[in-house]
Structure formats: structure tokens, C-alpha cells
Amino acid sequence: MSVFEGGRSAVVTGAAGGIGLAVARACLGRGMRVTLADRDGERLEAVAVALASEAPDRVAQAVCDVADPASVEHLREVALAAHGPVDLLVNNAGIGRASKPWGDRAAWEATLGVNLWGVLNGLAVFVPGMMAGGREGAVVNLGSKQGITNPPGNAAYNVSKAGVKAVTEQLAWEFRQVPGGRLSAHLLVPGFTWTGMTGTGDRPEGAWTADQVAARMIEGVEAGAFYIICPDNEVDWATDRRRIAWGAGDLTEGRPALSRWHPDWAEAFGAYPGP
């Protein structure tokens, strides 16, 4: 059995564009019924009309700000009324804003509100019902390599995605504690993906398409992978693996924070073969 089987119900946040839209399209392509959520009502309406023309009766929509618990509750009501119990929840909505570790409280609040509280609201609203239903199901949260290796320059975004990683790991553990539990949790980590978040115009050669990320997500969930880490056309898994292990080594080897970006450690990182 796969959660992506025809007739099953998916909820995707941030579905009016980018990766969320690609995930929604991929789920519809598998015959699923999908509830699209986005805070941008105009783009959501346009996308819902286009998708429904190819999959009549299988597309529902809710204007929803994931940062607002009442709005996410409304999304759940729409999804249940349209398609019945939710089998797949994809907490995808996210924003990126430049921020430093100090100041600009508005950027911090907006980023944590959408990227971290948005995921927490999704879990609080949907998971109890998914657990009580006893059906096979999956929760996919959108992480980021920035939440793992913490590159300098966007502190709030990195903190939000590190939080998503931590809570998704906790969720996986909780699901494992349920005797005969049929729910799984997954952290989807896109590489550089060409979407509204990363730019406009022609896709750079290094970037993956959102459709490639969606396909990899389905492949990863079906294979039972928890960490679904996508490469892109410039960064392969060997490179990611080396960067992740080097970052963990800052702690275990007593190096300075973010030594990968420290001039005194450039040579050592360059020579590091990886785990």
C-alpha cells in the first residue's frame, strides 16, 4: 500500500506555486484528492481552477495563513468536508528573508511564524485526527540544508528550518511509539530549486525544478526514508554528506562555529575527504 494511491486525500500548504504546486500536481497525477492551501488567494484560485480542469472533483482549496492556528483549523474543515480523512499532510509553506542574529524583530517573527509555527500549527491541527483515524498516512515537513549546515547570512531562516528538523525527528519518534502505528514522518530537504522563492526568469543550470523535488519526495516516502535530501544540478549527495559531516565535526572535534566558512579552516575543509 502507498499513501499516494488513487482516491486518498492530501493537504498541501503553500500550494499556489513552487514546490507545493508541484507536489499537488504529482499527487493528482497519482489519482489522489488534494486540498490546496495558500495565503495568496488570487494565485490559489487560478491554480485550483487549472488543476480542477484536469482532475474534476479531486481539487479543493482554502485560503489559509499557516501562521494562524484558526486559519489552519479552517483548512482542516475544508479538507475533511471535500475529501474525508487526511492521509498525507505536506507542510510546505515557507518564506525566506535576510536576517542577522540581532535586530529586525519583524523579519524574525514573520520567518518563525510561517516556517516554524506554520509547521507546528499543521501538526497540532491534523495529527491528532490522523492518529485517531488509524489509517496509513504520512506527514512531510519542508526542511532545508540551511537548517542542517547553518550557512552564514540568514539566521532566522536557518533557525526556523533547524526547528522544523528537530520537531520532525520528534514526530517520527512519537509515531514509532504507537503500537501498530501506520503513520510516518519525513523531512523533505530540497537542494537549490527554481521557484518564486529563489528567482524569476530562466532556471539556472544548477537548479532543480520543483517537479524533480516532488518526484523525489514521493520516491523517498514510498521507500520509507525519513531524511529525503535532494541534490541539485551542482551539489550531489557526496558533497552534501561531506558538508553535513564536517558541520557535525565542529562539535565533536572542538572547531570554531561554522568553521567551513572560517579562513583558518579552509585548507582543512578542502582536504576533508568526507565520512
**Cβ contact 208:192 at 8 Å:** yes
Residue 157 annotated to the active site? yes
Binds ligand NAI by CB under 6 A, chosen from 3, 28, 32, 93: 93
Q: Does 85 bind ligand NAI (CB under 6 A)?
A: no
Residues 6+ apart with CB under 8 A from 52: 58, 59
Nearer to ligand NAI, 13 or 255 (CB): 13
In the chain, beta strands by DSSP E:
9-13, 33-38, 59-63, 88-91, 137-142, 183-189, 193-194, 208-209, 227-229
- Specify the stretch interacting with ligand NAI by CB under 6 A; choose among 32-40, 120-128, 178-186, 261-269: 32-40
Binds ligand NAI by CB under 6 A, chosen from 24, 66, 130, 167: 66
- Specify the stretch interacting with ligand NAI by CB under 6 A; choose among 26-34, 91-99, 125-133, 260-268: 91-99
CB count, 10 Å around CB of 42? 10
Q: Does 65 bind ligand NAI (CB under 6 A)?
A: yes
Binds ligand NAI by CB under 6 A, chosen from 28, 94, 108, 154: 94
- R_g of the chain computed on alpha carbons: 19
Binds ligand NAI by CB under 6 A, chosen from 193, 216, 228, 259: 193
Alpha-carbon separation of residue 5 from 9, 76, 180, 216, 218 (angstroms):
9, 21, 21, 16, 11
**Cβ contact 184:221 at 8 Å:** yes
Residue from 4, 157, 175, 208 carrying the catalytic annotation = 157
**Cβ contact 121:141 at 8 Å:** no
Q: Does 220 bind ligand NAI (CB under 6 A)?
A: no
Residues that bind ligand NAI (CB under 6 A): 13-14, 16-20, 38-40, 64-67, 92-95, 114, 118, 142, 144, 190, 192-193, 195-198
The residues annotated as belonging to the active site are 157
